[in-house]
Amino acid sequence: MVRFQVEIHVSGGLHARPASVLVNLLNQYRSSVTMIYNDKRANGKSILSVMALGVKNGDEMTFEVEGDDEQEAATALRSLIERNFAIS
């Protein structure tokens, strides 16, 4: 399992557009992704779960990536976050 903490920098937090970009990226991988914020856990492949966390700009959260392609998924996820959810 790959586990890491990041600070989210996206205007308005993880609202519909960045949550959609995140979910679309993660659904390209077989690994499961759990997002942890304020003691709440969410399935990173479910837009409703992601949005229900209520992550705001500047908040810190934890990701857990587990599965056959966890390294690749975690690398892609970190890259997306570093680009502030901009689609490349």
| Annotated catalytic residue, options 6, 15, 21, 66 | 15
For 9-21, letters b (16+ CB in 10 Å) and e give: ebeebbbeebbeb
- Known active-site residue 15: yes
d(CA 71, CA 68): 8
Integer-rounded Cα Rg, in Å, for the chain is 11
Annotated catalytic residues are: 15
